[in-house]
A and B are shown apart, each in its own frame.
Chain A
Amino acid sequence: MHVPLSYYLILSAILFGLGVLGFLLKRNIIAIFMSLELMLNAVNLSFVAFSYAWQQISGQIFVFFVIVVAAAEAAVGLAIIIMIFRNRASLNIERINLMKL
């Protein structure tokens, strides 16, 4: 007895949905960023599943690129978050609503 491929895709969809939910519900800017990472992970799962379905290695190559981009994004994004915290002393996204201090 093995697992059908569609289960993996459904899991990916559920995780992506939870990521979107977190992105909309969370108020802490770092938590929002983490929800973003969750969405990327969900997409990676479906890439690997499709890579298996078509017996093609390129799906896994895409995951590789997604991970690289996520690393770059995390570095820059967290630097921006540190800047925001330095200027506003808050991580609440609703307090960051002015262009000018």
Chain B
Amino acid sequence: MSAEHWLFFFFAGVAVLGALNLILQRHPIHSALSLILVMASLAVLYLLLGAEFIAAIQIIVYAGAIMVLFVFVIMVLNAGEEERTSLSRVAKFVGLPLAAVFLVEVCYVLYRAWPSEQMVVPERFLGRTEAIGKALYGEFLLPFELTAILILIALVGAVVLAQKEP
């Protein structure tokens, strides 16, 4: 067992437990904290896959900006514990098992489709920030500019939606 092995299983476990906790917790703040945990452990997994820049962006934008917005809104609205409603019987006895079967099936197919001798060696591929910058401003220039416009529209939309009614 190498250090990478331990790192993968530890952070994969943390991510899955965090995701489970997101569903099980009844208070939105607790759910938000579990989601931040999932995002942080995913950032470590990105590092293991050699994507340094994406790992940093994941923390800065997702955990540091988007989730702060969520926590902020939860605080401002003073959202309390969520009221549970019981599932319909069909969903409970047919839906959930079927979903589990489907998930296992997907996992099995993925496991078979990718030869298990294809190992992840972090040193082999580095998502150098330089390469990402070159691709963004070369091959993907148009989508990049379009996302800039998208952000602007979202900005205006958020301000218009959330402002007090005149």
Contact = CB atoms under 8 A, between A and B. Distances in A.
Contact of A28 (B82, B103, B110, B158): B82
Interface residues of A, number: 68
Given A5-B114, A6-B114, A7-B8, A91 B77 contact: yes
B62 A70 contact: yes
Contact of B28 (A7, A25, A30, A68): A30
A3 B8 contact: yes
Interface of A, secondary structure class, is helix
Contact of A41 (B38, B91, B111, B140): B38
B121 interface: yes
Interface of B, secondary structure class, is helix
Given A4-B114, A48-B49, A64-B136, A15 B38 contact: yes
B107 A10 contact: yes
A1 to B, nearest CB: 5
B136 A26 contact: no
Interface string B70-84: 100110110100111
Contacts of B28: 28, 30-31, 34, 91
State the 7 A-B residue pairs at the shortest beta-carbon distance, nearest first.
Answer: A72-B154, A79-B161, A2-B119, A6-B114, A28-B82, A18-B19, A79-B162
6 contacts: A2-B119, A8-B120, A48-B54, A69-B147, A76-B154, A91-B77
Interface of A: 1-11, 13-15, 17-22, 24-28, 30-31, 33-35, 37-38, 41, 44-45, 48-49, 51-53, 55, 57-58, 60-61, 63-65, 67-76, 78-83, 85, 91-92, 94
